[in-house]
Amino acid sequence: MATITAPQAHAVPERNPGTPFDPSALEARVNRSAIERRAATLPTRRTVKKQWQAAWLLHAIRTIDLTTLSGDDTPGTVRRLCAKARQPVRPELLQDLGVSGLRLCTGAVCVYHEMVPTAVAALEGSDIPVAAVSTGFPAGLNPHRLKLQEIEASVAAGAREIDIVISRRHVLTGNWKALYQEVRDFREACGPAHMKSILAVGELGTLNNVYKASLVCMQAGSDFIKTSTGKESVNATLPNSLVMVRAIRAYYEQTGHKVGFKPAGGIRSAKQALDWLILMKEELGLEWMQPHLFRIGASALLNDIERQLEHLAYGRYASMQYQPLG
């Protein structure tokens, strides 16, 4: 089978140390029409078929932050999700695809702080990291002191990745220095844990704000920038993702520091996963397709990927009930 050459799913990249706050980097303007035209071509100009599609979909599984962020989460739900993260595709399907020796797992399991100890215990020995949403997720309106305490508590409980949410008011009022200091404080509280900064792009108003917020979060030391909490009315779209990955490219060209990207919210189909992988390949290159620099925040996505793999292996689709997550 054709494959995408990739390092282990949990290779640890160099941290982004950040830079001093530089307001001059925020002077660029986003051409919305050009961004929308470019984003519209991504799903139409590139495609992968047959064994290549299977290889790309198997690779996409490595990039998934398998997520449960519901009010009715229970320890049992989280343990079942972790079991799915350890073995996301049935062994017999992998065998029939000709990749029975493939060591396959998801990029991480993402949960609320309350469920971090349960997830850590369920993933013991797997090297799959637990990611915890933090800082008053999803609204980000908790007092700053409590946000820092929440980060520290999740790291102490075993979370190796922290998904923080920024205060949208700093972006909407143009208070970029306050945003920088907030994210810098979060970065220090994370200690050894990698930090993903959630911009909540659907609440930032303009693509210019998305670009500027991306740069400020990277200057403040974010290891990843993430589109959304999944709770907003507008979550990950190709136009706002394109703006963010171009900000990543600009930051890398300016500093030499590599920052990862995580689209989240509303990515439910295998076709969408391929669209985002194509975006990363065309805009940033092969390295940014790997799990240490690219993640997809999703819950139902894995179901559809497994269905597509079954169709490629057997020529038919299985019912969704045969791909339970939890």
Q: Print the domain residue range for 130.
A: 31-315
* Region at 265 (left for phi over 0; alpha for psi -120 to 50; beta for the rest): left
Q: Which residues are catalytic?
A: 163, 226, 262
Q: Is residue 21 a contact partner of residue 217, using CB atoms and an 8 Å limit?
A: no
Residue range 241-261, pLDDT digits in tens: 999 999 999 999 999 999 999
Domain count, the chain: 1
Q: Is residue 228 part of a domain?
A: yes
Q: Determine the straight-line distance between the first and last CA of the chain, rounded to whole angstroms.
A: 30
Domain holding 263: CATH number?
A: 3.20.20.70
Q: Label the pairing between strands 108-111 and 130-133.
A: parallel
Which residue in 100, 106, 89 sits closest to 308, CA to CA? Answer: 89
Q: Is residue 213 part of a domain?
A: yes
Which residue in 234, 170, 233 sits closest to 197, CA to CA? Answer: 170
**C-alpha pair distances (Å), 286 with each of 63, 71, 224:** 13, 37, 17
pLDDT at position 8 over 50? no
Residue range 114-134, pLDDT digits in tens: 999 999 999 999 999 999 999
Q: Is residue 17 part of a domain?
A: no
Q: Which residue has the tokens 């670009």?
A: 211
Q: Is residue 16 part of a domain?
A: no
Strand order in the sheet with 130-133: 260-262, 224-226, 194-198, 161-165, 130-133, 108-111, 64-67, 296-298
Q: Is residue 24 part of a domain?
A: no
Residue range 43-74, pLDDT digits in tens: 887 777 778 999 999 999 999 999 999 999 99
Task: Give the tokens for residue 230.
Answer: 């999944």
Q: Is residue 26 part of a domain?
A: no
**Sign, Cα dihedral of 42, 40, 43, 231:** positive
Q: Is residue 130 part of a domain?
A: yes
Q: Is residue 9 part of a domain?
A: no
